[in-house]
Structure 1
Amino acid sequence: MQVGWQKCKQHKSLSNFKRWLSPGCWRFSAIVATVLCALLASPAAHAVEIKAKAATLYDFSNKSLIFSKNSQVLLAPANLTKLMTAVTVQQALHAGDITPQTTFKVSEHAWRTGGAPARVTTMFARLNSSVPVNDLMYGLIVQSANDAAIILAEGLAGSEANFAREMNKLAKSIGMENSNFTNPTGFPDENHKTTLEDLTILAAYVLEHEPELHSVFSMDRFTWNKITQRNKNPLIRDIEGLDGFGAGFSEREGFAALGTLDSNGRRYVAAIAASPTMQDRVQDMKTLLLPTFSGLKLEQFYRKGDLVSDAQVYGGKRTTVSLKTNDAVATLINPNEKDKYQLRVVYNGPIPAPIKEGMEVGELQVLSKNDVIYRATLVTGEDVAMGDLQGRAWDALGEFFYQLF
């Protein structure tokens, strides 16, 4: 991989010193803009072609993000909400608040809103009957039953609203910082939001901490009230080896999915949102989880701890600090396309001293056709102590003249 050094026109921003480093644009000589004109032996490629407006691919085995597209954009999780509902119930089971044999009564609200009268996915729980938690969980997961979700919420917390508060507490505790749940079903609500990044965190949590729960998602069918229904997640049958987690749809945002499978001893998690059609959803998930299906290739650009660039330092004993990868940098590419990939370093700078090694100060972006298809955190590679008074004065003077122009 060749590293090119080019001079830059000054960025005329007085309040924001974020540097967008593409060929021909960097301040002083602090940052490398790396152009992957010969990334592969074959012609360099462009972004992974998927119809979904947002997508992620996570290597659970290596705990590393492989592909990201609009993963932090807020979206309606719709039916995928039920994974959060299942995990919240599971916590109550672990705490001993309930047992699998505990029964909850089917309220009129649960029956009318999530049962047969509502004409939504349901387990057909009879009004005023009592259903064990274990069967409600099977209904929730396998049949995507809305009545099961509401019955569990009311049984555990008294109401859907109270249960949603428990969902949000749990979500925050496992790192889902951008999610807000208002109900256990995923029914439309403008305040019911999450991101693909958070859904990926949730899936990884289940894989790591709830293996028994994970196993339920691949059950082929479940019978309740003498009615047998096949697994309501169509991707279980569309994608060989898929064993979780769900598929969803919202009128405003289209088709979504959250899936996982084991490929050659390594487990991956993929999430997509806003695919235009059901067929596009299947194709997108296959593209991410089965890259050979679309002729794609997983390409690694950097190993963990590799030096990527340098950043300008303000008021330090050194004028620059090295930037290194915090994790391996790899993403899916199409090796047969002619367009170029680029790597771009973005950071808020100059970075004020003192600086500690390992500080998160920026990110490395993989671009294609000016789209960011992947982001990786960059950290400082060493300590930089505060400089003397004269050095800081020169830095301040440099900043003054920089702002003028």
Structure 2
Amino acid sequence: MNITSFAQRLTLLVSLFVSASAMAATAIPAPPQLAAKSYVLMDAASGQVLLENNGDERLPPASLTKLMTAYIGTLKIRSGEIGEQDPVPVSEHAWRAGGAASGGSTMFLPLDSQVPVDALLHGIIIQSGNDASIALAEYIAGSEDAFADLMNKTAEQLGMQNSHFMNATGLPDPEHYSSASDMAKLARAIIQVDPEHYAIYKQKDYTWNNIKQGNRNLLLWRDSTVDGLKTGHTEEAGYCLVSSAVRDGTRLITAVFGTTSPAARAAETQKLLTYGFRYFESKTFYHKDQQLAEARVWKGTTEQVKVGLAQDLTLTLPKGQVDKLQPAIQVNPLLEAPLAKGAVVGKVDLTLDGKVVDSVDLVTLEAVEEAGLFRRLWDSIRLFFFQLLN
């Protein structure tokens, strides 16, 4: 996609949310031109893509793959399937394919040693160790091939439609690919699901086996608002970086594929972050499970049911616009029991200058059981006249 068509897409995106007069007042400049094959700028709260260029293009992700490896590791810890201090054996496959002799990034794990899961996570995230990635994959799934299947199932659950994994490291394989958009989705999941382990991504160095290695994400030194995530590089992939930063309560995520050097991937990422924070802002209007209203229920054991949202309602717009949005709650007046928790009973619209810019389902926050025969008959009569009069 050339920059002209990209700028046209951005203008179209913004026009969906902002009236012509409001857009003129905001005066958003054209997006920055990045020297990269593909990139995405995402708002972390809403998952809304603010900028993208070839975001869905399938490309080799190199060591960005390890974001998925580490993510699955933390999921297994959270579920109790593995423990942070579990000793993990370093197999010959992990040592030969990912150790010092392999010539790739490594944690320098000795053959047949045993390493705690927590140390492996640090080695994967900070040192980008191929040996650590393979060792953890084998411990979780029995083999790296079986772990790749788990990676693909997890990717499907996250809506990563342009990703397919063949290994835990990102070493080149024709059938191993991902996209900037998918990696941004994965980064968002990592940040939201497990904040405790996400803290590892901002560590600048880690020492194991008396060998200290630095984090390759140069933005951790250049920008104090950046707190993750991961670099990647192979000859085929070029230099890649998935990053995230928080300023004034807003978190943005970037994914940049195919730059020419470590300095370039940091500089191009910084362009996206600067543009995003300067010209966009997000606001959470309602939180998940927050009661927004009570709805009338017919033929139920109760006449009222609490209603709200299944997910936070967050929207990102050009600066100066979010405070102008007006929320409007619409509830179906003809609700009949039984109603399950989470049943859709209406919607919440956000409008700007009279135009709906976002609409989400309003759901029940509790279940309502069906009433007895007498109550149902009485409500049927009342409901008949209610509909007749309305």
Cα shift at 1:75: 1.0
Residue number in structure 2 paired with 1:218: 202
Look up the equivalent residue of 1:226 and give its one-letter code.
N
Q: CA deviation at 1:329?
A: 7.0
Alignment pair present for 1:128 and 2:121: no
Q: After the TM superposition, which residues 153-164 of structure 1 pair with which residues of structure 2 at under 5 Å, given as runs?
A: 153-164=137-148
Give how far 1:284 is off. Answer: 1.1
Q: Which residue number in structure 1 is paired with residue 247 of structure 2?
A: 263
Residue pair 1:54, 1:69 contacting (<8 A) in 2 also: yes
- The reply on whether 1:174 has 2:155 as its aligned counterpart is no
CA distance in 1, matches of 2:139, 2:152: 18
State whether structure 2 residue 87 is matched by structure 1 residue 100: no
Q: Distance in 2 between matches of 1:142 and 1:254?
A: 19
Partner of 1:165: 149
| Contact 1:255/1:276, CA 8 A, preserved across alignment | yes
Task: Tell me which residue corresponds to 1:89.
Answer: 73
Distance 1:266 1:42, change over 3 A: closer
Distance, in Å, in 2 between the alignment partners of 1:81 and 1:142 is 14
Distance between the aligned counterparts of 1:299 and 1:158, measured in 2?
A: 45
Q: Call closer, same or farther: CA 1:297–1:329 in 2, change over 3 Å.
A: closer
In structure 1, what residue type is equivalent to 2:279? K
Q: 1:197 to 1:52 in 2, by over 3 A?
A: same
Alpha-carbon contact 1:36-1:44 (below 8 Å) kept: no
From the superposition, tell whether residues 121 and 48 of structure 1 become closer, same or farther in structure 2 (CA, over 3 Å): same
Is the partner of 2:110 in helix, strand or coil? coil
Q: Distance in 2 between matches of 1:201 and 1:123?
A: 27
* Equivalent in the alignment of 2:189: 205
Structure 1 residues 255 and 331, CA gap change in structure 2 (3 angstroms):
farther
Answer yes or no: is the 8 Å Cα contact 2:201–2:229 preserved in 1: yes
* Contact kept? 1:238, 1:282, Cα under 8 Å: no
Please state which structure has a larger fraction of its residues in helix: 2
CA contact (8 A) 2:76 2:82 kept: yes
Residues 98 and 292 (structure 1), Cα distance of their counterparts in 2 relative to 1, 3 Å cut:
closer
Shift of 1:47: 3.6
Structure 2 residue matching 1:74: 3-state secondary structure: coil
TM-score (norm 1): 0.63
Q: Is the 8 A contact 2:26 2:318 kept in 1?
A: no
The aligned amino acid for 2:42 is: Y
CA deviation after TM superposition for structure 1 residue 91, in Å: 2.0
Match of residue 289 from structure 1: 273
2:386 counterpart residue number: none
Of residues 242, 245, 259, the one that matches 2:229 is 245
- Determine the C-alpha separation between the residues in 2 that align with 1:146 and 1:77: 14
Q: CA deviation at 1:331?
A: 6.6
Deviation at 1:276, TM superposition (A): 2.7
User: SS at 2:63's partner residue?
Assistant: helix
1:292-316, Cα deviation, whole Å (9 max, x unpaired):
99xx63499xx9xxxxxxxxxxxxx
Cα distance in 2 between the residues matched to 1:251 and 1:52: 14
Structure 2 matches for 1:13-92, cutoff 5 A?
40=24, 45-92=29-76
8 A Cα contact 2:254 2:269, kept in partner: yes
CA distance, structure 2, for counterparts of residue 207 and residue 43 of structure 1: 32
CA 299–209 in structure 1, closer or farther in 2 if over 3 Å, else same: closer
How far the C-alpha of 1:44 sits from its partner, in A, is 7.7
Alignment of 1:223-238 (within 5 A): 223-238=207-222
* Alignment length (residue pairs): 283
Q: CA deviation at 1:39?
A: 5.3
Deviation readout 1:186-235 (Å, 9 max, x if unpaired): 10011111111111111111111111121011112222111122223333
Aligned letter for 1:51?
A
Distance 2:157 2:21 in 1: 43
Change in CA separation of 1:276 and 1:331 when aligned onto 2, cut-off 3 Å: farther
Alpha-carbon distance between aligned partners in 1 of 2:182 and 2:70, rounded to the nearest angstrom: 16
Q: Report the residue type matching 2:256 in the other structure.
A: I
SS in 2 for 1:290: helix
Match of 2:97 among 113, 116, 123: 113
Letter in 2 for 1:184: A
Note if contact 2:137-2:168 (Cα within 8 Å) is conserved in structure 1. Answer: yes
Give a deviation string over 1:56-84, Cα, whole Å, max 9, x none: 11111344221111111111111111110
Shift of 1:171: 1.3
**CA-to-partner distance for each residue in 1:334-379, whole Å, 9 max, x for gaps?**
xxxxxxxxxxxxxxxxxxxxxxx99xxxxxxxxxxxxxxxxxx999
> SS in structure 1 opposite 2:231?
strand
Write the distance in 1 (CA, Å) between the matches of 2:276 and 2:56.
27
